[in-house]
Amino acid sequence: MPRTIIPFGPQHPVLPEPVHLDLVVEDEKVLEARPSIGFIHRGLEKLVEKKDYVEFVYIAERICGICSFIHGQTYCQAIETIMNVAVPPRALYLRTIWGELSRIHSHLLWLGLMADAMGFESLFMHSWRVRERVLKIIERTTGGRVIFGTCKIGGVRRDISGDALKQMLADLKQIEKDARDITRVFLNDSSVKDRLCGVGVLPRQEAYDLGCVGPMLRASGVVQDMRQLGYAAFKDLDFAPITRTDGDSYARCAVRCEELFQSMDIIRQAAMKIPEGEIAVKVAGNPNGEVLTRTEQPRGEVAYCLKANGSKNLQRFRVRTPTFANLPAMLKLLPGCELADVPVLVLTIDPCISCTER
């Protein structure tokens, strides 16, 4: 059988966003994958020359519609580090709660997309049904479902009352129950296991060398989670990175499933420990200096490099998103796989092209 090139994307049923792969195949075996990205590069980093550093929070939040809050939070953290702003502790706890809610809804979104890619439509619908409840909590506490708009330099714009926190914890109890039912299927159903177990194995050392981040890296056994840096309220909270050692698609799915419950636990801890007090401080002047700030998004480490020269516009705003870091691993995983496994392997890195094409 001669070799053939099969185009995969940029428009494809499993891809919500455009990315293209030229798959070199022999029979049903993929021999090589040649990527093309950059179909929707938006040049948001360049906008920093037109928007002042306070306004730019809104741009940072719009880098991605799934992890938008953590983008805004990371940008604010970076500016606060340059300007030595002491953010009130209550604001740090609120940021932690909203960040973990983002992680839950992002992982549920991914679980649904993965179920859809496998043709398990009822599991897809259940995953998104539960996700909707998380979005309702977010809407109730921030006013938004996609863009929260609550983070600002020096703190947050909105508080969560004691009653709202109690309601959130009660809702989380029901969400946890439903999520356990769903993850039980993901982790035990034979048809899911057939599609994921042993598919796209990424050994520990290779995952590290390729610069992988997030669940992609932890599923290969590397203990790395930027929340260990202790930003926001994480320095006061107990948690340990969730890892697996198999490094296959099933392990990556399992890490995301377990992280759902870890995030719920972190929210409960934060709700118990959240101090009373101010939620923001006034920030005056312009930033002068540079910083590299890293946080843990649902898809992994995001790195923000900011450079300021004392004017109201930053000199440079550079974002390295988790998907950008996980793309090389995807290219390494595809050669040798079956053509039918390509959608699973592409989805297994939880690709966010919107982030990558910032």
Partner 1 sequence: MTPLPQDQSVEPIPVSALLEKVDALRKQGYRLVQISATRLPDGLELTYSFALEGRLAQFRLHLPDDNPRVPSISSIYWCAFLYENEMHDLFGLAVEGMAVDFKGTFYNTAIKFPFGSTKAPVAKPATTTATSASSAPAPTPPPGSTTATAT
Q: Which whole-number Å values give the CA distances from 178 to 124, 140, 255, in the listed order? A: 13, 20, 18
Q: Is 39 in the site for partner 1 (CB under 8 A)?
A: yes
Contacts of residue 55, defined as CB under 8 A and 6 or more positions apart, other chains included, come to none
The two tokens of residue 250 are: 């099933």
Phi/psi at 99 (nearest 5 deg)?
-65, -40
Q: Is the CB of residue 18 less than 8 Å from the CB of residue 8? A: no
Angle between helices 89-118 and 162-188 (to 10 degrees): 30
Q: Is 158 in the site for partner 1 (CB under 8 A)?
A: no
* The only residue of 303, 330, 333, 352 in contact with partner 1, by rule CB under 8 A: 303
- Which residues ranging from 280 to 299 are in contact with partner 1 (CB under 8 A)? 290-292, 294
Contacts of residue 294, defined as CB under 8 A and 6 or more positions apart, other chains included, come to 74, 226, 229, 301, 302, 303, 304
- Give how many residues touch partner 1 by CB under 8 A: 55
DSSP string for residues in 250-283: HHHHHHHHHHHHHHHHHHHHHHHHPPPS-SB---
- Which residues ranging from 220 to 249 are in contact with partner 1 (CB under 8 A)? 224, 228-231, 234-239
Q: Is 169 in the site for partner 1 (CB under 8 A)?
A: no
Q: Is the CB of residue 325 less than 8 Å from the CB of residue 307? A: no
Q: Is 36 in the site for partner 1 (CB under 8 A)?
A: yes
Q: How far apart are CA 290 and CA 279, in angstroms?
A: 25
Rounded to the nearest whole angstrom, what is the least distance from the CB of residue 264 to partner 1 in the complex?
Answer: 17
Measured from the CB atom, the residue of 210 and 254 that comes closer to partner 1 is 210
From residue 316 to residue 345, what is the string marking binding to partner 1 with x (rule CB under 8 A)? x-x-x---xx-xx--xx--x----------
Q: How far apart are CA 101 and CA 173, in angstroms?
A: 13
Rounded to the nearest whole angstrom, what is the least distance from the CB of residue 193 to partner 1 in the complex?
Answer: 30
Q: Is 10 in the site for partner 1 (CB under 8 A)?
A: yes
Residue with tokens 């002047």: 285
Measured from the CB atom, the residue of 192 and 270 that comes closer to partner 1 is 270
- Which residues ranging from 46 to 65 are in contact with partner 1 (CB under 8 A)? 46
Measured from the CB atom, the residue of 44 and 185 that comes closer to partner 1 is 44
* The only residue of 31, 44, 146, 147 in contact with partner 1, by rule CB under 8 A: 31
Q: Which residues bind partner 1 (CB under 8 A)?
A: 2-5, 7, 10, 20, 22, 24, 31-32, 34-39, 41, 43, 45-46, 208-211, 224, 228-231, 234-239, 290-292, 294, 301, 303, 305, 307, 315-316, 318, 320, 324-325, 327-328, 331-332, 335
